[in-house]
Structure 1
Amino acid sequence: MNPVTPPSIALTAATPRAVHGRLPLPAWAACAALAVAGVLAGAALLPRAAHAQAGGNAPARIGVVGPFTGPSADFGVPMLNGIKLAVDEINAVGGYLGRPLELVIKDDRADPDQGRKVSQELLAEKVVATIGFCNTGVALKAIDLFQDAKSPLIVPCATGTAVTAKYPAPDSYIFRVQARDAIQAPFLVDDIVKRGWDKVAIFADKTGYGEGGYNDVVAALAAKNLKPVHVARFDLGVKDLTAELTAARNAGANVVYSYTVGPENATIANGKKALGWKVPQVGPWPLSFPFFLEGAKDAAEGALMVQTFIAEPSNERRASFLSSYTRKYQGKVAVPMAAANAYDATYLLMYSFLGIRDGNLNGKAIKESLEGKMKTYYGVVTTYDKPFSAQDKDAITRNMLVMGMVKNGAITFAYPEDAKRNLIIQRKQ
């Protein structure tokens, strides 16, 4: 696991020494940053009072909250690294109106109570906006704090449908750059039915993530006039699901749909292998996490999962992002989706700043800019042309999803046609 910045500290991602000593920005990253740099010229044209209102040269503080230690660090760390990579690039070309972006990082340890506590700390430290949350249950415990404070929150990882559905969209300060479970579940159900797997056993943990995902899968099956033939609910940390797997096999299941975020996915795969039960395992994106790939090893082969981003350099943006990440963190991306979604979320936040003409980064102004005043951002996952609106706080739509598959211990495209389709950027529908 890559080392992370210790929690509860402020980090300026690019000091002058770091900028002078770093390699030049890759061509695509430099182009992405040009929109940021372009505002610097405009800064000179702002009235002096407006520039003072914008904060002078004081850093623009952005909160970051996620599981950087503990059971969900396998995707919390890549999320943080994606944010830091984007901020480093932005600061290298001058930040916002000459103000560097400064990250205030808090570790929620994948614990809902801890997540609420550190969210209160972030808001007390007067961040202008926050990027964060990997775990749906942690997010749901804390998002009321951001909503009540009218402080924008962009969620790059947590997929629970309720995260962006809790508040009426026109009033909501909660945005997301990730595919919510309500579109992931029907996408995957359509695929497994097409493959002829119509006897589904659902294995879902008892967290907010597992509960929400279970409900979305049941609804997606019902739309196909199907019901699960077996349902298993379990606590995090379970080491043996043999009895539940045996019951699912006896019920005639021909596919296992798992909805959990940690090593429990590997427990399911290893349990199937021990029983000699050779049915496929499918699920949302946690089946692409190291806990599954490394914990299940050959038992993970062939598993199918929903993805927004697969780490293949299908265009210049993605190739540049992957090479920049690998160079900066000296290793491959452990969970590419988490890093790419968070990287794009950071640039979208910065683009929202650029849409605020007087430079006053208050919550209402950032919200309104995110909802429609931003320029198009050519990102890693997709091209974001009006990603949000007053009526829609989710940037990712179904057409952007692809099926991933475990092959030789890595994630690749399940269908060759998806690999070809990935060459063409799918914009929001």
Structure 2
Amino acid sequence: MFIMPVTNAQTHSTPTYLCKPIPALKKILASNASYTNSIRAIRLMLKILLVAALNHMPAQGETTPSAPKNTLKIGVIGPFTGPSADFGVPMRNGIELAVQEINAVGGYLGRQLDIVYKNDQATPDIGRKAAQELAAEKAVAVIGFCNTGVAAKSLDVFQTEKIPLIIPCATGTPLTAKYPAPESYIFRTSPRDSIQAPFVVDDIIKRNWTRVAIFADTTAYGEAGLADVEKALAAKKLTPVYVARFPLGVKDLSKELKTARAAGANVVYSYTVGPENAMIARGRQALGWKVPQVGGWPLSFPFFIDGGKESADGALMSQTFIAEPSNERRAAFLATYARKFKVKKITVPMAAAQGYDSVYLLIYALFGIQNGNITGPAIKDALESKLRTYYGVVATYEQPFSKEDKDAATRNMLVMGMVQNGSITFAYPEDAKRNLFVQRKQ
């Protein structure tokens, strides 16, 4: 294991103090033992690089193209107030937790990570304005977006300005497909709906729930999700028996539920992020229609669990991270999060964990830039290269991205979650056992 070399400005050679193998660091980074080892590893790496940078600053009058400044500006965009704050806030908290850990040991080569937060309020125009502001403020990279429609409105800002964007929450399939992969500056750590939908469809077929009614809102998220579910069903030679479309804010879906029941549906697949999920659950209960409700990860949100109460129990959804201390690194993350933010339960654990991992993937990429030239294209290239192995909370990452693939999450990282007594747990005991071992990208 070698520390990343920094090229001397005058000789163009690599200083030997940055090339010597560090036995202790090599031993820690080579270990799969625990999350604690991963944290120790990056802290040690950061400390070594910080000391090296400080001890080898250029003499007076000497210049270097990679001379560090005081801070490194990174943007964060998300819905921190409003109807999507229940997953925007834990995303922000996960990011903040990771940044605090990194800054505590010196940041990036002595430069503290300066996080600039922008609240998009789950509104596309506000999100776009936030993206433009971060570009004007010279953020070197941005982590953000929870809502597919909000993200979609802003993608061209990042692509045009060549600012890498890592999306830790929004799952709409089109987001990482808008630009040709080799040219794209849009990366994502959340599981796109085109892997979530087939995963859930496979599960409901296994349970013999094949007469599917789909309830999808008319947002970009609902539109893309509906297409993914219909495609997943078609792959199994199935078509939905009924499809309901509705705008956000609708107050009553009883007519649509009655139509779905009359069509003989034996499962309801819902695709929306707000209180409408709970409205569907309560509507089924009011009709005495005892069919299961399944969907993507929004069925793990408080809007559904708290809004649906007992009618939400038993609902099934895809998850990358369930807040159970199934191994040491996840237990450490949960305990640290609870202590820092003084909460007993994370409102949306997936959002927090994916936000946290996104920061570390970015910092690992930054350490892979050989000459310290922190530009958008350099960060993009580093993200697309093989990183030092990062033992994350959601997964273990070796090469999360490439020039041809901008999605870090793969299907093997998914498990089925189930609402039980107001919380999310594993739908299958075997998933709980499998969760002892953090998955790697396939």
Q: TM-score, normalised by structure 2?
A: 0.89
8 Å CA contact 1:65, 1:108 repeated in 2:
yes
Residue matched to 2:226: 214
Partner of 2:53: 43
1:153 and 1:174 in contact (8 A); partners too: yes
Match of 1:260 in 2: 272
- Aligned equivalent of 2:377, options 347, 364, 373: 364
Matched, 1:284 2:286: no
| Whole-angstrom distance in 2 between the partners of 1:290 and 1:33 | 35
Structure 2: 5+ residue stretches without partners: 1-34
Instruction: Say if 1:26 and 1:324, in contact at 8 Å, map to a contact too.
Output: no
Deviation at 1:54, TM superposition (A): 3.5
> For residue 43 of structure 2, what is the amino acid of its counterpart?
A
Matching of residue 400 in structure 1 with residue 413 in structure 2: yes
Describe how 1:130-279 pairs up with structure 2 within 5 A.
Answer: 130-279=142-291
Contact 1:245–1:271 (Cα < 8 Å) also in 2: yes
Q: Counterpart of 2:377 in structure 1: which amino acid?
A: K
User: Does residue 426 of structure 2 align to residue 419 of structure 1?
Assistant: no
Q: What's 2:28 paired with?
A: none
Q: 2:72 is matched by which residue type in structure 1? A: A
CA positional deviation for 1:33: 3.1
User: How far apart in 2 are the matches of 1:63 and 1:52?
Assistant: 26
SS of aligned partner of 1:74? helix
What is the CA–CA distance in structure 2 between the aligned matches of 1:78 and 1:287, rounded to whole Å?
Answer: 16
Return the letter of the residue paired with 1:159: T
Q: Please state if 1:353 is matched with 2:366.
A: yes
Are residues 1:34 and 2:47 paired? no
**For residue 414 of structure 1, what is the amino acid of its counterpart?**
A
1:45 Cα shift? 7.3
Q: After alignment, is 367-376 or 291-300 more displaced?
A: 367-376
Aligned residues of 1:39 and 1:354 also touching (Cα < 8 A): no
Q: Secondary structure at the match of 2:92?
A: helix
Q: Deviations over 1:29-78 (max 9, x none)?
A: 44443333342244257673998533523200000001001110000000
Normalised by the size of structure 1, how large is the TM-score?
A: 0.92
- Identical pairs, percent: 67
Q: Do residues 377 (structure 1) and 390 (structure 2) align? A: yes
* Count of aligned residue pairs for this structure pair: 405
- The 8 Å contact of residues 36 and 328 in structure 2, kept in 1 or not, is answered as no
C-alpha distance after superposition, 1:193-222 (max 9, x if no partner):
000000000000000000000000000000
- Match of 2:26? none
Give runs of aligned pairs for residues 64-103 of structure 1, distance below 5 A: 64-103=76-115
State whether residues 313 and 422 of structure 2, in contact with CA within 8 Å, keep that contact through their aligned partners in structure 1. yes
SS at match of 1:154: strand
CA separation of 1:383 and 1:42: change in aligned 2, threshold 3 A: farther
RMSD: 1.6
Aligned runs of 1:310-321 on 2, under 5 Å? 310-321=322-333
CA distance in 1, matches of 2:243, 2:326: 38
Q: 1:51 to 1:26 in 2, by over 3 A?
A: farther
Q: Which structure 1 residue ranges, 5 or more long, are not aligned?
A: 1-24
- Could you say what secondary structure the match of 2:142 adopts? strand
Shift of 1:358: 1.7
* Cα deviation digits, residues 263-322 of structure 1 (max 9, x gap): 110010010001000100000000000111100010000000000000011111101100
Higher-Rg structure is: 2
Question: Would you say the 8 A contact 1:63–1:130 is kept in 2?
Answer: yes
Q: Distance in 2 between matches of 1:394 and 1:38?
A: 31
- Output the amino acid matched with 1:202: I
> Distance in 1 between the 2:45 and 2:386 partners?
14
Q: Please give the alpha-carbon distance, in whole angstroms, between the structure 1 residues aligned to 2:318 and 2:43.
A: 30
Within 2, Cα distance between the matches of 1:136 and 1:62? 21
Measured in 1, the distance between the counterparts of 2:86 and 2:211 equals: 32
Cα distance change of structure 1 residues 45 and 224 upon mapping to structure 2, 3 Å threshold: farther
Q: 1:168-213 CA deviation, whole Å, 9 max, x = no partner?
A: 1100000000110000000000000000000000000000000000
